[in-house]
Amino acid sequence: MASDYLSQTFNALADPTRRAILARLSNGATNVSDLAKPFLKEMSLPAVTKHLKVLETAGLIQKTKDAQWRTCTINAKPLEAATNWMEQYRAFWEESFDRLDEYLKELQAPKNIANKKTKKKTRK
């Protein structure tokens, strides 16, 4: 679907099952069948495998083969680029707090200015 790295990362994260898989792997490398187990109540094994494939394509997990086991390991490196991309917009989501800050400052300090303006008006 998405060919560029950022799109692949965001696309991989755009699903609650895939995020849950990453959360499980953050506790340590897990073999594929143990990893799939808790999801098999809600979906088939091929469906879980498909989610793993999306995560693997995005470079968020790595599969290794030890003897008969296929083990999955988390690789959070692509999340660094994604976080850096989002950080550009931090000022925008913090803006509302800044506005609140400004409003609170206005409420406290410059009452005199406001009063002066009002007095001027009433003198006319």
What is the secondary structure of 88-114 as a DSSP string?
Answer: TTHHHHHHHHHHHHHHHHHHHSTHHHH
Quick check: 93 binds a copy of itself (CB under 8 A)?
yes
Asked if residue 64 binds a copy of itself (CB under 8 A), the reply is: no
Q: Which of 16, 115, 2, 102 is nearest to 59 (CA)?
A: 2
In three-state secondary structure terms, 73 is strand
Size of the site for a copy of itself (CB under 8 A): 33
Q: How far is the CB of 2 from a copy of itself (least distance, A)?
A: 6
120 binding a copy of itself? (CB under 8 A): no
28 binds a copy of itself (CB under 8 A): no
